[in-house]
Structure 1
Amino acid sequence: MAETMRGMRLGGQSLESDVGVQLSARQSVGFLCPKSHRFDLVFAEGVELPITWQCQSCESSAARLLDGAAVIDDSEADAAPRTHYDMVKERRSEQELEQLLEEMLVSMRKRRSQGQVNA
C-alpha cells in the first residue's frame, strides 16, 4: 500500500478538475473601525450585508462602508431599550397590575404589624 500512495498528500489536494465549475457571484465589502483600520470582506451577492463587523486588528466594532462613508443602522439608533416595566405591561393589564399591587401592599402591611419589617 505504501507504493501506491507514494507522492500523494492525503486530504490536501482534490483529484477533481476545476473544469466546468462556476463560482457564485461575489462582492467585496469594506469596513472601517474607530481606530481607522480598514479591511475588506467578500460576501455572496444578494445576501443581507451586516452593518457592523468585528475589526480583525483591534477587535472593536467596525462599520460597513458604502461609497466611502460609514453606514448607520437607523433601527438600532431609534429603538429605546425595553425596561422591565414595559415587559410586565405586555403580559398584564392595568387592572391586573393594580390588583397585584394592592395584594402586595396588604401583605406588607400585615407583616409590618406583626413586627416582620423585612419584605
Structure 2
Amino acid sequence: MVGGNAIRGTRIGAGPVGESERGESAPRIKVSYFCANGHEATPSFAVDAEIPDEWECQHCGLPAGKERENPPEARRTEPYKSHLAYVKERRSDEDGEAILAEALQRLRERRGA
C-alpha cells in the first residue's frame, strides 16, 4: 500500500524516543522486599526518596519487609459484619425484645386493632 498512513506504528501523543531528547532520568536504587510466602518484590526508588519499611507483595498482597528471614506478619482483617451484628453488639436480646414490643404496640394503636 503506497501512500498509507504516515504515522503508522506510533501512538498518538508519543514524544521523542531516546534519552538524548527527553533528558537524563533520575538516579534510582532498587530495594528488595520479602513477604511471608517467600516472594520477592524489587521496586525502584529515586536515590533521594524516603524508602518505606514495608511494601505490598505483588504476588499475594501480603505485607513485605526488607529482611528475608523475618518478614512482617499478615495483618488481621476483620470479617464483614452486617448491620444486625453491629446492633447486637450495642443491645442485649432483652433490649431488642422491649424495642420490638414497643414498636408493635405503636403500630397496633395506629391501625386501631
TM-score grouping bracket, smaller chain normalisation: 0.3 to 0.5
More strand by share: 1
